[in-house]
Structure formats: structure tokens, C-alpha cells
């Protein structure tokens, strides 16, 4: 453990000692719902009154009774702590900017390989909060410097004085004890004093379904009203003002700045006669709360597949909720449910994975009830006729999870990457381009369905490695060169031909009749559009790379997309592909997926061996191509090659399985002859024994 973390832990211990001990906290200890008619407190620990103008602070409100610091180290909140137990790889934060054709996979979790650390790309925790805050329940990167402030305040035992969250943050700036400084962020934003911190908002998950407005939360985070988002989302009042309107170099104590600080006008009807507010919440979050960040949509050539053609996860159909398996204690270490999960609490969670729940723990199941199969009434699958080898080579999800595999991996959209849940127009082509299911071996060597992507970003090529450059600075530097208003691909690569170009191509009369073009004319237009796109790409990317080299003072700037690295060509306005041996930049980034889980009848192989062991068995033959915003896409590769399966051997296996039915008759005949022989022997033995007895 790094020294700085030991110091931090010691500081935290002191904080907790000075604060409430766990056993001192009030508890209901009942399964019944506890009604929360509670007083709200702001960031300065002042009670919120109907005429207050400051937002309520979940930390100071909920943290009065609940162990905020323990919660803050739970699964959804510890992504900022590089030393936290990361476990199996999950979906990265994908920094997406359609204007610059960027889809950069990021993570603070040091165990998750091939992902860039935000600080490595020059991204501050404040920028991460602005970009992804609408998809995190607060805390970790969302409190940035503020985390240190909270620690400092508790150590001294003195609430920080100040008028607003701005003042709070400002008053602490520069007085933070070095011991409390976390390893992250390397890049510090000056905007924390204006936006306040995005504290863990308990109501994100614990509000009853329909009581929490995620749209309002996202809106206010996008307006940089971090500290105001929890108040807005519960619609406790109206927020006026945007922190985004305050300039970076503004003086927080200046009256002009103060006027721009958002103000809350509380809905007085939400307050009881005693000044308390009813927080309508539940202990077990509803699945609807999980869907806000954990929804997916499949995208095919026809666009986003409608929801009705897909079935719900079989467990949800059976009446379960997400939290029935993905459960947690006050430490909020939510069980992720993958095989071999090592829960930080030390609790045995093996039977909360698919295999553990349905088949029981692998060892000691006869000794302990808690390790037996059948938890929550789960049926024990017979897997009739399926050789056990499959369980050693494949995960449960290979056959039962993810979208049904087709000839090519489909596109996929996720809540975290594509903001599903927000009102908008989506075509399915939006960045980041993700694809699934991709059948790859996981950390345990078992093949399972993954989601995958290829990074696309602007970076510096040095010593054969590509390092991403800060996306926001890249945008500023390339704005003039790229001249993209909304979408890099639409405006650079797929730019429509002008009327004069069309006239030149098809003639004056035919050029106007775009809905009457013959197939040949359409083909001509497509080719010309593609050529124009390529030419524009070369010109604009050349100019953008030049601008980046000047702005960042780097020797060689490059653009990475779909596994290709583009650098400036030898001539002006030309771009050339550079061979780079850097799998982090050009290789596939994949993470396992589990849901939606399909029942036995809809699993792969339900109709027999040759569903997979044939030339068109999708788990092997389905293809995936590197996709991204750039002009070149990768060649399709089969899942078999990604799994390292020898094509000749696969062919042999397939042939073997074609003759399996006939072989069963052969083997039955063989057994018959051997049994007859054995009976003859038994007969002879019996006769011999009979003869001796006679």
C-alpha cells in the first residue's frame, strides 16, 4: 500500500474516531421500511429551511445516521481509488467526442488492463465528473478536491464557514493537509469552487421508483451544478443559475461571481410543520434505478432494434430484482456475481454467481447449506447430454447470456456510453462504436460473450507507443482545422456532394433527380462521396495534426481509429498509416457481459451439438470487425481465431460431429457384441462351476 494511502487511512481513522462509531448509530434492525421524515442539511451543516437557497448535502443529511465513509468505499464509489479491489474487468468510462472522432476508454482501476488512466490523458477528475457524473451516483471522482476538504473538516472538528458551497471549497483551497491528499488527480481543475462537489447521492438508488428525476440530475450536472443536482433530482425546489456561466478565473468572493452561483427556491409544501422533509426511499433499490446506468440496446444494419423483439432477463421474468443477486451491506460492496469473486467483506458470495446459485459451490457443498445449489429456489440445470468439458472451457454466459449471436457481431449501445435513458434522437451509429457479442476467453480462460471496442483518439507517438492527449485541449486545438459542427464522420467522411459536384458527375438534369437515380448512378455517387470523404479526411487530419503538434509541442501527433494509426504524410494534406506495435492503442478492448440471461430453450446448443460444432456454429464462425470513426475499418475476424482455435482442428471437430449420430449406432453394436461375449463367458463359468458341483 502506498505511503500516502496509509496516511490517508490513518487520517480517516482519526475522523471516524472523532465522529460517530458504527455501534453508536441508530438502526431500525427490522425488515420493515423505515420512514424517513428527516431534516435536510446543507454543505455547511446548516438545516435547510423552506426559505433556504443552498442545496441540501446528502453527506451531511444522510451521513448523520449512515456511515458515509464506509459507503464511500463501496463498489460504485471506489472507482477513483486505484488500490481498491477491482475484480473482473467491467465497462470502462469511454470519453466520447463526436466532433473530434474520439472514443477513449478510461479507468482509474489499475487492475483493468489496456485502459488509459484519466491522468495519463491529461483529464482531471472534474472533467471526468462533468463528462460522466450523470452516470455515477456521486462520490469518488465527483468529489475531487472536496474529498480532502471533508477529511480536513472532520479532523479539526470544525465545520467550514462560508456562505455557499463555493465559499466552502474556496476556503479550503490551499489549507489542505498534505497527508490528506489522494494520489489522484494529477490534473487539478480550477472549477471545483464554482461547481461544488458531486457527493454520493443516496437517493439515486434508494428513492422509490418515480420519485427521483434522473433527467434533472443529468441536466444540472451538464450545467456544472454538481452540488445542486441531488436537490434538483428530487424536485425539492427550483434551481436558478448555472455554474457553467462562471469563468475559470472568476474570484469566488466577488459579488458578480456570487450572483452567478445557482440558487435554490425550495417547494415549501415539501416541508412538514416541524421543518422535516419526507424522503420516500427504500432499502432495496428497484431495478428501475439500476437501469438508469445499466441498460443496453442492440444495433443491427437496420438501426436500433426495437425493445419488444427482445425478452427480459429470465431472472427478472421470474420476479427477481437486480439487487437479489447484486446485493450489499452498509459497506456498499455490491456483489458483482462473477465466478471466483473475492468479496472485500470476506463473506462467501460464490452462490450469488450463476454457477454457484444453480450448481452450488465447487467445493464443500455437502458440508455447508450456504454453499449448496438452489439458492432463492433456483432450478438445478441438468444440461442433459452436454459433456462436462464445456463447463471447463466456457462460462455459463457463453450459451445463456448476451444478445443471440448472428453471422456478425452486432452493434451495442449502453447507458454508460450512450446516455440511454435521456431524451434524444439516436440512430445507433453514434460514438462510441461498441460491438457484441464477441466470444473471447476471460481472465479465467473460459470463453464467454464480451462487449468490445477499438479506441479512437488523438495522441502523441513516441518510442513506438501512442499516448492520448487531453481531449478537451485537442478539441480546442483542432477546432479550426477540422471545422466539424456536430459529427466528425458525417461532416468529414460522409459529406454530401455539392450540387456542382453532382452536376459534374451525372449531368445537370440527372443531378437534381436524386430519388430517381439508377443503381449505376447511385454507385457513382457513393464512390465519389467516399473519395471526397477520404480527401477531406486527409486534408483536415493533416491540418489537425499540425495544430496539435504546435499546441502540445510534440514531435509526432497521430490519430488512432479502428486499430489504425494515422500520421502526417510526406506531402502536405496527406495522411499515412503508421505501423505501431501498441496493442493498448490499436487492439481490441473487451469486457465480459452477462445479461440478458436466456433460458435453457434459448441457449446455444439447445438443439444439439452441431448448433456450435458445425461450420456455421456462431460461437466460432461469427465475425467481428474493428469499427470506429475513422475511414478504415478492420477486416472481419472469426470468434474462433480470437479464441485461438486452430481452423484445421475446428474443421476436424465439425466433421467428427457430423458423423456422431452414425457413431452412436456403431458404438451400440460394439457394446452389444462385447456384452454377448461376456454372457458367453459367464455361461461357461457357470457351466464349469455346475460341472464341478455335479
Interface positions with another protein (CB under 8 A): 359, 381-389, 391-393, 646, 649, 652-653, 656, 660, 663-664, 666-671, 673-675, 677-678, 680-681, 684, 688
Could you give the residue ranges of the DSSP H alpha helices within 223-369? 229-233, 255-260, 287-291, 314-317, 322-325, 354-359
Nearer CB in complex with another protein: 365/546: 365
- Quick check: bond before 185 cis, omega within 30? yes
Q: Are 590 and 525 in contact (CB under 8 A)?
A: no
Residue 93, SS3 per DSSP: strand
Q: Are 94 and 453 in contact (CB under 8 A)?
A: yes
Q: Smallest distance from the beta carbon of 593 to another protein, in angstroms? A: 24
Q: Smallest distance from the beta carbon of 497 to another protein, in angstroms? A: 53
Q: Smallest distance from the beta carbon of 676 to another protein, in angstroms? A: 9
Nearer CB in complex with another protein: 14/656: 656
User: What does DSSP assign to residue 643?
Assistant: T
Residue 565, SS3 per DSSP: strand
Residue 470, beta-bridge partner list: none
Q: Smallest distance from the beta carbon of 404 to another protein, in angstroms? A: 22
Cβ partners under 8 Å of residue 362, min gap 6: 350, 355
Nearer CB in complex with another protein: 14/680: 680
Nearer CB in complex with another protein: 507/659: 659
20: nearest Cα among 77, 74, 66, 62: 66
Please, what's the largest Cα pairwise distance for the chain? 122
Nearer CB in complex with another protein: 156/652: 652
Q: Which residue has the cell 468529489?
A: 143
Q: Smallest distance from the beta carbon of 443 to another protein, in angstroms? A: 18
User: What does DSSP assign to residue 68?
Assistant: H
Positive/negative CA dihedral, 413, 414, 417, 420:
positive
Nearer CB in complex with another protein: 272/681: 681
User: What does DSSP assign to residue 404?
Assistant: P
Nearer CB in complex with another protein: 190/669: 669
| Total Cβ atoms within 10 A of residue 120 | 12
Q: Smallest distance from the beta carbon of 438 to another protein, in angstroms? A: 21
Q: Smallest distance from the beta carbon of 638 to another protein, in angstroms? A: 17
- 524: exposed, middle or buried (C-beta count within 10 Å: 0-12, 13-18, 19+)? middle
Nearer CB in complex with another protein: 82/356: 356
Q: Smallest distance from the beta carbon of 673 to another protein, in angstroms? A: 4
Q: Smallest distance from the beta carbon of 380 to another protein, in angstroms? A: 8
- 138: exposed, middle or buried (C-beta count within 10 Å: 0-12, 13-18, 19+)? buried
Nearer CB in complex with another protein: 300/677: 677
Nearer CB in complex with another protein: 407/666: 666
- 645: exposed, middle or buried (C-beta count within 10 Å: 0-12, 13-18, 19+)? middle
Q: Smallest distance from the beta carbon of 612 to another protein, in angstroms? A: 15
SS percent in the chain: helix, strand, coil, step 5: 40, 15, 45
Q: Smallest distance from the beta carbon of 390 to another protein, in angstroms? A: 9
Q: Smallest distance from the beta carbon of 628 to another protein, in angstroms? A: 34
Nearer CB in complex with another protein: 394/434: 394
Angstrom distances, CA of residue 613 to CA of 305, 352, 402, 440: 28, 31, 20, 17
Q: Smallest distance from the beta carbon of 662 to another protein, in angstroms? A: 11
Nearer CB in complex with another protein: 231/378: 378
Q: Smallest distance from the beta carbon of 311 to another protein, in angstroms? A: 25
- 331: exposed, middle or buried (C-beta count within 10 Å: 0-12, 13-18, 19+)? middle
Q: Smallest distance from the beta carbon of 334 to another protein, in angstroms? A: 29
Q: Are 190 and 248 in contact (CB under 8 A)?
A: yes
State how far the Cα of 166 lies from the Cα of 193, in Å rounded to an integer.
5
State how far the Cα of 496 lies from the Cα of 515, in Å rounded to an integer.
15
Q: Are 157 and 151 in contact (CB under 8 A)?
A: no
Residue 452, SS3 per DSSP: strand
Q: Smallest distance from the beta carbon of 342 to another protein, in angstroms? A: 22
Radius of gyration of the chain (CA): 30
Nearer CB in complex with another protein: 668/693: 668
Angstrom distances, CA of residue 209 to CA of 212, 280, 285, 295, 568: 7, 9, 8, 16, 53
Nearer CB in complex with another protein: 319/385: 385
Residue 469, SS3 per DSSP: coil
Nearer CB in complex with another protein: 269/662: 662
State how far the Cα of 228 lies from the Cα of 221, in Å rounded to an integer.
8
Nearer CB in complex with another protein: 65/606: 606
Amino acid at each position: 500500500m502506498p505511503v500516502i494511502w496509509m496516511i490517508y487511512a490513518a487520517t480517516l481513522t482519526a475522523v471516524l474516531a472523532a465522529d460517530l462509531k458504527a455501534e453508536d448509530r441508530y438502526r431500525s434492525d427490522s425488515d420493515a421500511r423505515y420512514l424517513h421524515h428527516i431534516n435536510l442539511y446543507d454543505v455547511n451543516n446548516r438545516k435547510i429551511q423552506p426559505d433556504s437557497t443552498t442545496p441540501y448535502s446528502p453527506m451531511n443529511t444522510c451521513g448523520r445516521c449512515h456511515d458515509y465513509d464506509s459507503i464511500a468505499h463501496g463498489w460504485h464509489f471506489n472507482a477513483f481509488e486505484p488500490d481498491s479491489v477491482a475484480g473482473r474487468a467491467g465497462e470502462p468510462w469511454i470519453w466520447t467526442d463526436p466532433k473530434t472522432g474520439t472514443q477513449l476508454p478510461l479507468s482509474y482501476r489499475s487492475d483493468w488492463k489496456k485502459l488509459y488512466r484519466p491522468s495519463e490523458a491529461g483529464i482531471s477528475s472534474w472533467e471526468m465528473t462533468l463528462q460522466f457524473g450523470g452516470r455515477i451516483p456521486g462520490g469518488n471522482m465527483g468529489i475531487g478536491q472536496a474529498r480532502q476538504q471533508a477529511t480536513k473538516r472532520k479532523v479539526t472538528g470544525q465545520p467550514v464557514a462560508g456562505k455557499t458551497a463555493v465559499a466552502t471549497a474556496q476556503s479550503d483551497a490551499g489549507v489542505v493537509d498534505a497527508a490528506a491528499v489522494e494520489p489522484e488527480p494529477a490534473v487539478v481543475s480550477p472549477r471545483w469552487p464554482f461547481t461544488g462537489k458531486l457527493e454520493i447521492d443516496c437517493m439515486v438508488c434508494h428513492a422509490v421508483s418515480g420519485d427521483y428525476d434522473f433527467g434533472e440530475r443529468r441536466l444540472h450536472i451538464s450545467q456544472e451544478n454538481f452540488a445542486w443536482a441531488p436537490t434538483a433530482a428530487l424536485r425539492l425546489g427550483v434551481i436558478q443559475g448555472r455554474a457553467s456561466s462562471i469563468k475559470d478565473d472568476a474570484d469566488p468572493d466577488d459579488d458578480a461571481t456570487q450572483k452567478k452561483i445557482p440558487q435554490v427556491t425550495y417547494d415549501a409544501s415539501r416541508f412538514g410543520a416541524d421543518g422535516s422533509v419526507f424522503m420516500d426511499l427504500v432499502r432495496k433499490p428497484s431495478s428501475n434505478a439500476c437501469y438508469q446506468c445499466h441498460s443496453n440496446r442492440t444495433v443491427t444494419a437496420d438501426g436500433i432494434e426495437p425493445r419488444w423483439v427482445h425478452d427480459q432477463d429470465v431472472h427478472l421474468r421470474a420476479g427477481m430484482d437486480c439487487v437479489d443477486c447484486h446485493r450489499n451491506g452498509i459497506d456498499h460492496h455490491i456483489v458483482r456475481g462473477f465466478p471466483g469473486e473475492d468479496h472485500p467483506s470476506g463473506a462467501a458470495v460464490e452462490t450469488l454467481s450463476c454457477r454457484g446459485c444453480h450448481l452450488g459451490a465447487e467445493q464443500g457443498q455437502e458440508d455447508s447449506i450456504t454453499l449448496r445449489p438452489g439458492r432463492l429456489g433456483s432450478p438445478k440445470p441438468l444440461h442433459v447430454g452436454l459433456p462436462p468439458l464445456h463447463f471447463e472451457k466456457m462460462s455459463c454466459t457463453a450459451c445463456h447470456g448476451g444478445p443471440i449471436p448472428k453471422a456478425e457481431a452486432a452493434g451495442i449501445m449502453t447507458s454508460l456510453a450512450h446516455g440511454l435513458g435521456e431524451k434524444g434522437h439516436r440512430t445507433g451509429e453514434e460514438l462510441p462504436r461498441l460491438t457484441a457479442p464477441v466470444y473471447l476467453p476471460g481472465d479465467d480462460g473460459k470463453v464467454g460473450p464480451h462487449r468490445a471496442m477499438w479506441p479512437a483518439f488523438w495522441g502523441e507517438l513516441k518510442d513506438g507507443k501512442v499516448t492520448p492527449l487531453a481531449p478537451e485541449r485537442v478539441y480546442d486545438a483542432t477546432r479550426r482545422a477540422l471545422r466539424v459542427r456536430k459529427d466528425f464522420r458525417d461532416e468529414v467522411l460522409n459529406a454530401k456532394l455539392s450540387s456542382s459536384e453532382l452536376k459534374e458527375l451525372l449531368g445537370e438534369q440527372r443531378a437534381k433527380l436524386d430519388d430517381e437515380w439508377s443503381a449505376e448512378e447511385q454507385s457513382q455517387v457513393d464512390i465519389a462521396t467516399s473519395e471526397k470523404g477520404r480527401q477531406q479526411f486527409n486534408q483536415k487530419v493533416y491540418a489537425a495534426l499540425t495544430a496539435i503538434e504546435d499546441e502540445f509541442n510534440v514531435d509526432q501527433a497521430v490519430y488512432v481509429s479502428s486499430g489504425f494509426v494515422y500520421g502526417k504524410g510526406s506531402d502536405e494534406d496527406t495522411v499515412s498509416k503508421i505501423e505501431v506495435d501498441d496493442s493498448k492503442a490499436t487492439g481490441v478492448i473487451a469486457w465480459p457481459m452477462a445479461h440478458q440471461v436466456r433460458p435453457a430453450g434459448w441457449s446455444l446448443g439447445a438443439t444439439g451439438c452441431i448448433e456450435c460444432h458445425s461450420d456455421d456454429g456462431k460461437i466460432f464462425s461469427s465475425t467481428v470487425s474493428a469499427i470506429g470513426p475513422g475511414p478504415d475499418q478492420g477486416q472481419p475476424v472469426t470468434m474462433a481465431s480470437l479464441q485461438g482455435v486452430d481452423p484445421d482442428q475446428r474443421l476436424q471437430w465439425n466433421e467428427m460431429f457430423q458423423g456422431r449420430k452414425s457413431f452412436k449406432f456403431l458404438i451400440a453394436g460394439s457394446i452389444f457384441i462385447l456384452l454377448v461375449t461376456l454372457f458367453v463367458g459367464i455361461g461357461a463359468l457357470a457351466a464349469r462351476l455346475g460341472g464341478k458341483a455335479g
